[in-house]
Amino acid sequence: MKKILTIFVISLVLLLAAYFAFVYYVPYSEGTRSGELIKVSNKGVVFKTWEGEISQGISGAEIFKFSVLDKDKDVIQKLNELQGNYVKVTYIERYTTLAFWGDTKYFVTAVDKDISPHFNKKSD
């Protein structure tokens, strides 16, 4: 009986480790998005996570919500500095998220200031 319980516990631990490794290391998609950075916040009671929003439409009807992992300190700093500006973010989308990573499946890995297409049109 003790041997069966030991095998069960080891199997359960290995399955959980494989699940976490899959969710963390295997992205569903990768890409970039541009828009006006309208929100960056560090929120949560038990797990503090970094969350943000980018407005991708003129009226703000299309919002891209994203999370940033705590280990990406330079990305968090740049997001705080660029709030209110037009930015281009590079992100990975995961199959799912965990409470201590963030609220969304989209995780920003890089951010750069960009030129807004709405305010940079030259008139002839």
- The pTM score is 0.80
Domain ranges of the chain: 27-113
CA distance 30 to 20: 19
User: Which of 61, 24, 56 is CA-nearest to residue 37?
Assistant: 56
| Per-residue pLDDT tens digits for 49-87 | 999 999 987 666 789 999 999 999 999 999 999 998 999
Number of helices (H) and strands (E) in the chain: give both, helices first. Answer: 2, 5
Distance CA 21, CA 33 (A): 26
- How do residues 106-123 score in pLDDT, each as one tens digit? 999 999 998 877 765 554
Q: Is CATH 2.40.50.140 correct for 27-113?
A: yes
